[in-house]
Amino acid sequence: MKRRDLLKYISITPLAGASIVGGITSANATPLAVAAGRDLFAELGVRTFINAAGTYTAMTATLMRPATVEAIRQASHKFCMLDEIQDKVGERLAEITKAESVVVTSGAFAALTLGMAGILTGLDPVKVKQLPKLEGTGMKTEVICQKAHAIGYNQALTNTGVKVIMIETVEELKNAINKNTAAMHFLHVQSDKGKIQHEEWVAIGKQYGIPTTIDIAADVPPVSNLWRFNEMGFDFVAISGGKALRGPQSAGLLMGKKDLIKAARLSMPPRGETIGRGMKVNKEEILGMLVAVEEFVKIDHDAEALVFLERIKKIQAAAMSVPGVSTTITTPVLGNVTPTLNITFDYSKISKTGEALKLELRNGNPSIEVVGGKDNIGITAWSLQEGEDKIVAKRLKEILEGAKV
Ligand SMILES: *Cc1c(COP(=O)(O)O)cnc(C)c1O
């Protein structure tokens, strides 16, 4: 591509050159991608879309910030030892997150599995090889969890061979603790539904000498959650890199006590003959994760939340201009803490279901992804790029107008 053509190309590519508002810009519109002269999505016929839904794994979760993409690019030019880069990045991340130690994992799910592995094996290389077989090895076999905290992601724990024991009350918890208890696991996003809160969970763990663990995968913002649970004394804390942190989708962090992280790493590459050999992170993801966290703690989260709210309000106003449409904006207190627009319909005035309207948004041009059930549409702004709120508002209004009875 000649420079002149390149400039022309940039000027007709709406996202290239978009200004950064609230730290939101498009990662796939960097000059590098343009200079390569290829649009791989178009070439492959892969549908891309405006993400008005949120950080969903199936939708590839998040766009990395430019500084994170640059870290990945830099990393791709040099060799280093995998353990050394984990050591050094871990030290930096430990300072930021106030954990004793940190390791970059292939997502929060892997962090849960590897952290659990570390608790079970300690520093014993024989036990590391034996996982997920626990019987007859001398390893403990049970993890205690509150009933309200039982979610599918707990499979990350049971992948190590442990069994999850459900309890509800403090009394049940104390009765459930026995010589086979390996850990007490907590799920932050459901903490309001459980009878036992974080501090008490940690205190009982300490009293009985049982490690306490916590899944905070989708729980920043607030940014303080990056260190809150480390400071509280949980033995390990698992978080996603590919959600609001905007790191590589395939990365996450395992934070925790020094010996536990050391033990967890025995089950991680480059070591083979481990349950974690397939949970590899490369140097690009490791450096990308470091920079993603550095950027995340630097940005003005209040200002960003305001930008998100303004965008959501613009979409809300467009939807509300059509008779028969009701909306609410709420910000969840726990997990995915971002202004969330919920749209419902009076079917005597709107002739199509929420489901049908969602399909129209998906099949339009540009394609727009939202969430919700059969009768509602859910929208968040944290994955919207500069200017996309207007596009979503306009399309939504058009589609709703077209659905009037
Ligand atoms: C997203 C999520 C996970 C999995 O995180 P990954 O980084 O995708 O592996 C685990 N637990 C909870 C509560 C989550 O929301």
On whether both 170 and 110 belong to a single domain, the answer is: yes
- What mean pLDDT is predicted for residues 134-163? 98
Residues 163 and 132 in one domain: yes
Contact assessment for residue 254 and residue 102, using Cβ atoms and an 8 Å cutoff: yes
Amino acid type, 240: S
Instruction: Check pLDDT > 70 for residue 292.
Output: yes
- In the chain, % of residues over pLDDT 70: 91
CB of 239 closer than 6 angstroms to any ligand 1 atom: no
pLDDT beyond 80 at 289: yes
Give the span between the Cα atoms of 131 and 271, in whole angstroms.
14
Residues 115 and 244 in one domain: yes
Give yes or no: residues 162 and 250 share one domain.
yes
pLDDT given at position 188: 98
pLDDT tens digits for range 320-342: 999 999 999 999 999 889 999 99
User: Measuring from atom 12 of ligand 1, which residue has the nearest CA?
Assistant: 217
* pLDDT category of residue 37 using cuts at 50, 70 and 90: confident
Does 171 reside within a domain? yes
Q: How far is the CA of 221 from the centre of ligand 1 (A)?
A: 15
Last residue of a domain, one of 298, 321, 346: 298
* Domain co-membership, 199 together with 328: no
For residue 43, being part of any structural domain is answered with no
Tokens of 339: 């202004």
Strand spans (E) along 106-211: 142-146, 163-167, 181-187
- The CATH number of whichever domain residue 381 belongs to comes to 3.90.1150.180
Instruction: Give the tens place of pLDDT for each residue, 95-124.
Output: 999 999 999 999 999 999 999 999 999 999
Three-class DSSP category at 281: coil
Q: Between the CA of residue 23 and those of 31, 47, 83, 239, what are the distances in Å?
A: 17, 25, 31, 21
Q: Which of 271, 298, 325 is the last residue of a domain?
A: 298
| Cβ atoms of 195 and 169 closer than 8 Å | yes
Is 259 found in the same domain as 141? yes
Residues 292 and 309 in one domain: no
Contacts 24+ apart (CB under 8 A), 277-282: 279/105, 279/106, 279/110, 279/113, 279/114, 280/106, 281/104, 281/105, 281/106, 281/250, 281/251, 282/75
Q: Is 218 in the pocket of ligand 1 (CB under 6 A)?
A: yes
Q: Does the pLDDT at position 12 exceed 90? A: no
Q: Which residue has the tokens 């940690």?
A: 202
Ligand 1 pocket: which of 105, 157, 240, 250 to mutate (most atoms within 8 A of CB): 240
pLDDT averaged over the chain? 92
The pick from 153, 216, 253, 254 for probing ligand 1's pocket by mutation, whose C-beta has the most ligand atoms within 8 angstroms, reads: 153
State pLDDT tens for residues 226-270: 999 999 999 999 999 999 999 999 999 999 999 999 999 999 999
* pLDDT tens digit sequence for 122-144: 999 999 999 999 999 999 999 99
Atom of ligand 1 at shortest range from CA of 111: 9
Mean pLDDT value across residues 14-43: 56
| 25 inside domain | no
Is residue 173 in some structural domain?
Answer: yes
- Write down the pLDDT at residue 23: 40
- Structural domain including 231 reads 79-298
pLDDT tens, position by position, 179-228: 999 999 999 999 999 999 999 999 999 999 999 999 999 999 999 999 99
Residues 249 and 121 sit within 8 Å (Cβ to Cβ): no
Q: Same domain for 336 and 281?
A: no
Q: What is the signed CA dihedral for 61, 65, 67, 69, rounded to 10 degrees?
A: 40
In a domain, 88, yes or no: yes
Residues 6+ apart with CB under 8 A from 298: none
Containing 396, the helix (H) or strand (E) segment is helix 388-402
Name the residue among 149, 275, 263 with its Cα closest to residue 216.
Answer: 149
Maximal C-alpha separation, the chain: 74
Atom of ligand 1 nearest to the CA of 216: 13
**Same domain membership, residue 214 and residue 144:** yes
pLDDT at 75 over 80: yes
Tokens at 317, concatenated:
């106003």
Q: Residue 6 domain-assigned?
A: no
DSSP string, 123-138: T-HHHHHHTT--TTTT
The residue with greater pLDDT, 130 or 15, is: 130
Least confident of 15-29, 161-175, 320-334: 15-29
Closest CA to 187 of 130, 118, 123, 112: 112
Given 298, 331, 349, the domain boundary residue is 298
Which residue stretches of 278-350 are H helix?
A: 283-298, 301-320
**Domain count for the chain:** 2
Quickly state the pLDDT bin for 2 (edges 50, 70, 90). very low
Question: Cα(359) to centroid of ligand 1, in Å?
Answer: 26
CA 355 to centroid of chain Cα atoms: 26
**Domain-embedded: residue 50:** no
* One domain for residues 319 and 277: no
Q: Are residues 158 and 287 in the same domain?
A: yes
Q: Which two tokens stand for residue 81?
A: 């030892």
Cβ partners under 8 Å of residue 30, min gap 6: 66, 69
Residue 8: predicted pLDDT? 40
- On whether residue 135 sits in a domain, the answer given is yes
Q: Which amino acid appears at position 222 of this protein?
A: P
Pair 287, 337 in one domain: no
CATH of the domain at 140: 3.40.640.10
**How far is residue 323's CA from residue 348's CA, in Å, rounded to a whole number?**
10
Distance 242 CA to ligand 1 centre (A): 9
pTM of the predicted model over 0.75: yes
E runs forming strands in 152-227: 163-167, 181-187, 212-215
Give 384 Cα–ligand 1 centroid separation in angstroms: 21
